[in-house]
Amino acid sequence: GAVVSQHPSRVICKSGTSVKIECRSLDFQATTMFWYRQFPKQSLMLMATSNEGSKATYEQGVEKDKFLINHASLTLSTLTVTSAHPEDSSFYICSATSGGEETQYFGPGTRLLVL
Amino acid sequence: QKEVEQNSGPLSVPEGAIASLNCTYSDRGSQSFFWYRQYSGKSPELIMSIYSNGDKEDGRFTAQLNKASQYVSLLIRDSQPSDSATYLCAVKDNAGNMLTFGGGTRLMVKP
């Protein structure tokens, strides 16, 4: 099946710093990638949708200047949390689809802790 | 606003029993339906997808879809303790690739 990786799996940073999370599709070309955030005991909340080579589409309430998304190639999307604060601590998960395929394949997630 | 509703549970069943997980959705334009399983601290993994009314079976899992009632369910036969997890229902419309997730149902299978 399709494999999506994320790096790092876990990151701890100081308040005010920026953190970059990578999402890679390993064995397929991901025309569309999605970024989700999940707080404890809650469901996944879509943050943004990115298509290769174009600007990401952000969901309502998600600050595009704080959560920078780059989808520069068909196998890589990055999410940069700028000036992170403790309330940004969460589980960030990416997913990817290929062409007209229906299924989203999820990465293993990145746990961010901002001190 | 598109909504996907699930009972949060926990749903507790004995080992070997059938677990029945339910999901309702608000958008009649929804075309694709997915069940994901999420273990604590892990990301979701796809169990089944279903697109047409009726039943779809895959091993111990059966997905059921009723578009008229806007209802989709997942049955797990011969439940095992390893099935204990949160099950997420996800719905996609025909306008794009975006999934709308339900809040998830926590299933506990007791030995």
| pLDDT, tens only, B58-80 | 999 999 999 999 999 999 999 99
- How far A49 CA sits from the closest chain B CA (Å)? 8
Whether pLDDT at A100 is above 80:
no
The answer to whether residue B108 neighbours chain A at the CB level (below 8 Å) is: no
CA distances to A89, B51, B80 from A115, in Å:
9, 44, 39
Number of Cβ within a 10 Å radius of residue B78:
13
State residue B96's pLDDT score.
66
Cα(A47)–Cα(A67) distance, rounded to whole angstroms? Answer: 9
Cα(A16)–Cα(B62) distance, rounded to whole angstroms? Answer: 48
State residue A77's pLDDT score.
94
Answer yes or no: do B98 and A49 touch at CB < 8 A.
yes
* Digit-coded pLDDT (tens) for A27-48: 888 889 999 999 988 889 999 9
State residue A35's pLDDT score.
96
State residue B106's pLDDT score.
96
In this structure, are residues A85 and A72 in contact, taking their beta carbons and an 8 Å threshold? no
Whether pLDDT at A1 is above 80:
no
Cα(A23)–Cα(A45) distance, rounded to whole angstroms? Answer: 17
Average pLDDT on A11-16 reads 96
Q: Which of A13, A22, A31, A17 is nearest to A93 (CA)?
A: A22
CA distances to A8, A25, A66, A87, B45 from A105, in Å:
18, 9, 25, 27, 8
Answer yes or no: do A109 and B43 touch at CB < 8 A.
yes
Question: Which of A23, A97, A98, A104 would best serve as a mutation to test chain B binding (most B beta carbons within 10 A)?
Answer: A104
**pLDDT below 70 — which residues of chain B?**
1, 96
Question: Which of B1, B99, B105, B106 would best serve as a mutation to test chain A binding (most A beta carbons within 10 A)?
Answer: B99
State residue B67's pLDDT score.
95
Whether pLDDT at A101 is above 80:
no
State residue A2's pLDDT score.
84
State residue A98's pLDDT score.
82
Confidence of residue A53 (pLDDT cuts 50, 70, 90): confident
**What average pLDDT is seen over chain A?**
92
Judging contacts by C-beta atoms under 8 Å, the chain A residues touching residue B36 are 106
Give the dihedral sign, CA B21/B24/B28/B32.
negative
Answer yes or no: do A104 and B103 touch at CB < 8 A.
no
**What average pLDDT is seen over chain B?**
93
